[in-house]
Structure 1
Amino acid sequence: MVIADRWQEGAAYERYVGRWSRLAAEQFVDGLDAARGIRWLDVGCGTGVLTATILERCAPSSVVGVDPSEGFLATARERPGIAGRDDVRFASGDAEHLPVGDDEVDAVVSGLVLNFVPDPAAALAEFARVGAPGAIIAAYVWDYADGMRLLRMFWAAASACDPDAVDLDEGRRFRLCRPEPLRALWTGTGGMDAASVDVRPIDVDTAFTDFDDLWSPFLGGQGPAPSYLASLTDAARGAIRDRLRDMVSPYVHEDGSITLGARAWAVSGRLG
């Protein structure tokens, strides 16, 4: 079974995962301990979550955001904290072919993107190409295999209702969601100072006012799980919804709200 992941509508993505990626972005940026006033490149900037965090917390001299989705770029350009600023610009492009010259930036970062890049090693080589000597090269990804409880429960519910869903599970699809392969990718990149490579966890809570607040963003059609749901009949979607509701019930508080843990892994290093 093959379902194409859709990345087109920024507002739908924000309701789905964007609200949690903001929390991860803050921890990620703070952990880099980057100097102020440097030049940043945000690869796969999407709706601008990481770009806005850099602008807010790092006082950069400039930020360039690159993404292949024109819909996401439109959302990024209008994001509060970004709109109207002259120290940030956005460009269409992909991680393996960055529209940036050699040695042009001091920090190359990427949030929640590497698992969706066809050739991560080629992307890292591009990161190294555009980074100046000593540049920070860093990324973070959700722990789809274990630590992202919302998605673990979703795919468990989907697989129980539809055996074809097993192969679509992000925990099975994406190998770059654990510390070991991330470290290996960074240390194997030409020009990287292997001694500088560090991998660390980022833990956040995904909090929902009720089950509808948890479920309805899955219907927005953006990303793997929502794209899969969009391919199903109403009855099939309803069966997964009901199964997920049962699985989530132990995490429901007295007021109906739900809190689930989520873990991402951050990896960073410096060019020699």
Structure 2
Amino acid sequence: MVVADRWHDGGPYERYIGRWSRPVADRFLESLDAERGIRWVDVGCGTGALTAAVVERYAPSSIVGVDPSEGFLAAARDRPGIVGRPEVRFVVGDAQHLPLPDGAADAVVSGLVLNFVPDAAAAVAEFSRVAAPGGLIAAYVWDYSGGMRMLRHFWDAAAAVDPAAVALDEGRRFPICDPQPLRDLWSAAPGMDGDSVRVDAIDVETVFSDFDDLWSPFLGGQGPAPSYLASATDAARTAVRDRMRATVEPATRPDGSIALNARAWAIVGRRS
């Protein structure tokens, strides 16, 4: 079964995963040993959650957000905290071939995107190339195998309804999203200081007002799970919904809200 991931409309993505991107970005930045007033690059910046968090926390002298989706960049340019900031610039580009010169940044970061890059090693080599000597090189990805509970509930429900969905499960598709593969990737990157590499867990709570607040963003068509649902029959979508409703029932509070943990893995290193 082949279903292409869709990444062209920032609005539905914000309602689906984007609304949880900022809390994770804040926790990620808290863990970094970064200075204020330096040059940043945000690779795969999407709708700008991490870019905005960098601007707020570190007051960069400049920050360039790079993403292949003009639709997502349009949403990033309109994000509160970014509009009207002359030090913020967005460009269309590919993580494997960054449109930036060598040593252009003191910090190169990437949030929730590395697993979607066809050649992650080539992307991290680009991060290293763009980083100045001693520069920070860091990223984070969801723990798709189990820690990102909203997605785990979805794919388990989808597989129970449609065995073909197993091949699309992000936990299966993205083995890189675990500590050892990430550590190996960073340690092997050209120019990386291997002794500086570390992996940290980032946990945040995702709270949904009710089941519809959890389920309806999966119908927005942006990202792997929503792209799968868009390709499914009406009957299959209904069956996945009902199965998922049953599996999240233990996490449902008396007021109907649903609280699920979301874990990401952060990988941090420096250019030698």
> What TM-score comes out, normalization by structure 1 length?
0.99
Query: Aligned residue for 1:184?
Result: 184
1:74-85 map, 5 Å: 74-85=74-85
Residue 33 (structure 1) shift: 2.1
Query: Aligned residue for 1:124?
Result: 124
Query: Aligned residue for 1:215?
Result: 215
Amino acid at match of 1:254: P
Residue 161 (structure 1) shift: 0.3
Unaligned runs of 5+ residues in structure 1 are none
Q: Deviations over 1:20-43 (max 9, x none)?
A: 111100010111120111000000
Query: Aligned residue for 2:268?
Result: 268
Q: Distance in 2 between matches of 1:207 and 1:258?
A: 6
Amino acid at match of 2:162: D
Q: Distance in 2 between matches of 1:259 and 1:146?
A: 15
Q: Distance in 1 between matches of 2:201 and 2:249?
A: 27
Structure 1 runs (4+) greater than 3 angstroms displaced:
none
Query: Aligned residue for 2:54?
Result: 54
Amino acid at match of 1:74: A
Query: Aligned residue for 1:199?
Result: 199
Q: Distance in 1 between matches of 2:18 and 2:222?
A: 11
SS of equivalent to 2:107: strand
Residue 233 (structure 1) shift: 1.4
Query: Aligned residue for 2:99?
Result: 99
Percent pairwise identity: 69
> What TM-score comes out, normalization by structure 2 length?
0.99
Residue 242 (structure 1) shift: 0.4
Residue 59 (structure 1) shift: 1.1
1:247-258 map, 5 Å: 247-258=247-258
SS of equivalent to 1:248: helix
For these two proteins, the number of residue pairs brought into alignment is 272
Q: Distance in 1 between matches of 2:8 and 2:226?
A: 12
Residue 115 (structure 1) shift: 0.4
- Aligned-pair Cα RMSD in Å: 0.5
Q: Distance in 1 between matches of 2:30 and 2:227?
A: 32
Q: Distance in 1 between matches of 2:187 and 2:96?
A: 18
Unaligned runs of 5+ residues in structure 2 are none
Q: Distance in 1 between matches of 2:263 and 2:110?
A: 16
Q: Deviations over 1:134-182 (max 9, x none)?
A: 0100000000012111111100000000010000000000011110000
SS of equivalent to 1:32: coil
Query: Aligned residue for 2:173?
Result: 173
